[in-house]
Amino acid sequence: MTVALYVLGVVLVALGIGLSIALHEIGHLVPAKAFGVRVTQYMIGFGPTIWSRRRGETEYGVKAIPLGGYIRMIGMYPPHRGDAPGTIREDSTGLVQQMAAEAKEWEAAQYDPAEQHRTFVALSVPKKLVVMLGGPVMNLLISAVLMAVLLCGLGLPAVTNEVSSVSRCVLPADAPADASCEGRQEAPALAAGIRPDDVIVSIDGTPTPTWDDVSTAIRGAGDRTVPVVVERDGERLTLHATPIVDARPVYAADGSVERAPDGSVRTEQVGFLGVSGTRDLVPRPVTEVPGAVWDAFTATGRIVVTLPVRMVDVTRAAFGSGERDADGPIGVVGVSRLAGEIVSADRPGFDLEEKLFTLVSMMSSLNMALFVFNLIPLLPLDGGHVAGALLEGVRRTWARVRGRPDPGPVDMSRMLPVTNVVALVFIAMTVLLVYADIVRPITLF
């Protein structure tokens, strides 16, 4: 059963990645066709074609290597200046010029000169930007929708005001989990009659709808006897508890325990009751979605900016004894392993709802990564074409201001050597991540 669930997790994430790639390419395809560009291919994957069908002038298909996708538009590069009537064809023996010339000749052979007006290069700058940004923006929308499902549908992990456990006695803040209660003072909550599954409604007259409210009220009560209203089996009961003032851990904003430079737990003298809240998924208002999307964008951006350093860390972990950074880059194999681990996990508290939350969160993060990564201004990424279109806009505007002739579109074929180098780097990164995901995988538990 565990193996079947593991395979199910891998299949689910594979379908999610495939759908994300397909929608990314649709983000390019739809505006390109709307602007009249002839699109000859819409493909998911690279390498040999497994399946394809032609609909109108476009071939739709799936290829063998599921590591991306593409649409093929005619006329990605401007024609030779010498191809126009009355002009002299430029020629050069330079490597860059030769590569550009061969690329242009191949491009020109893919369509009839009468279709020049239907080429990508013939589009205006704004239309080029819409076509090239359509893919990344689609991933951004997917990420935002999934994040809205997480926040407003499933909810975010939080500790609620429902009691999960009641301490038997008062133990020091740094006591081990298996410490004995022999000779210890009875916990105030136990003495007051508070039970697991009770919902703490108020403390000392102050409503406690969240666990933060419960914690604040307890810590501020000192050693006074205060009324504690709980809801039990549909009824509200008023109990009386006398918290003790004790050295308790200091918690950071993220809920983690703060530690001193020597590693010891930081403590403060506050009221202590001896109850723990229940961890659950709590839905959040839709107004929090934009902030969550922005936080995810900035966090992903920091990862992308520091990617070279992080890849060095991955290399050291893969070929040395270092540990993988849980927040570092991960490949397709690693994502698949995590998905299998999530679905097949059999751990207390990690129920179906938690598994669904983790999977949806993973897909949201993946789409945000696709959005940010594709904005890098390097070919063959979408950001490279966006940079070319922006440069074209600047050149044309500057020429118009100075009263000079239109310089025409930017010749992106001259960037082919850089494009090839970038592509090789990306392939090397992909292979390294696959290897690292096999020999030194990032695990959830």
CA distance 164 to 282: 16
Confidence tier at 30 by pLDDT (50, 70, 90): very high
Burial state string for 318-349 with b = 16 or more CB within 10 A and e = fewer than 16? beeeeebeeebbbbbbbbbbbbbbbbbbeeee
**Can 25 be counted among the known catalytic residues?**
yes
Closest listed residue to residue 364, CA positions, set 425, 305, 272, 289? 289
Q: 365: alpha, beta or left, given left = phi > 0 and alpha = psi -120 to 50? A: alpha
- Concatenating the DSSP letter of every residue in 9-59 gives HHHHHHHHHHHHHHHHHHHHHHHHHHTTPPEEEEEEEEEEEEEEEEETTEE
The token pair at 108 is: 């020109």
Q: Once rounded to an integer, what is the mean pLDDT over residues 255-273?
A: 73
Q: Once rounded to an integer, what is the mean pLDDT over residues 155-171?
A: 85
pTM exceeds 0.85? no
Inter-residue contact 268 to 241 (CB < 8 Å): no
Inter-residue contact 325 to 307 (CB < 8 Å): no
Q: Which helix (H) or strand (E) holds 239?
A: strand 235-241
Distance of CA 394 to the CA centre of its chain: 33
At 255 the three-state DSSP class reads coil
At 261 the three-state DSSP class reads coil
User: Domain 157-282 carries which CATH code?
Assistant: 2.30.42.10
The token pair at 343 is: 């679905």
Percent of the chain clearing pLDDT 90 (strictly above): 37
Which residue among 25, 107, 162, 341 is the active-site one?
A: 25
Q: Over the Cα atoms of the chain, what is R_g? A: 30
Confidence tier at 295 by pLDDT (50, 70, 90): very high
The token pair at 220 is: 């501020």
pLDDT number for residue 88: 37
* Low-confidence winner among 104-118, 191-205, 357-371 (lowest mean pLDDT): 104-118
Domain ranges of the chain: 127-155+300-445, 157-282
Q: Once rounded to an integer, what is the mean pLDDT over residues 18-27?
A: 94
Q: Could you tell me where the DSSP H helices lie in 63-124?
A: 95-108
CA distance 14 to 21: 11
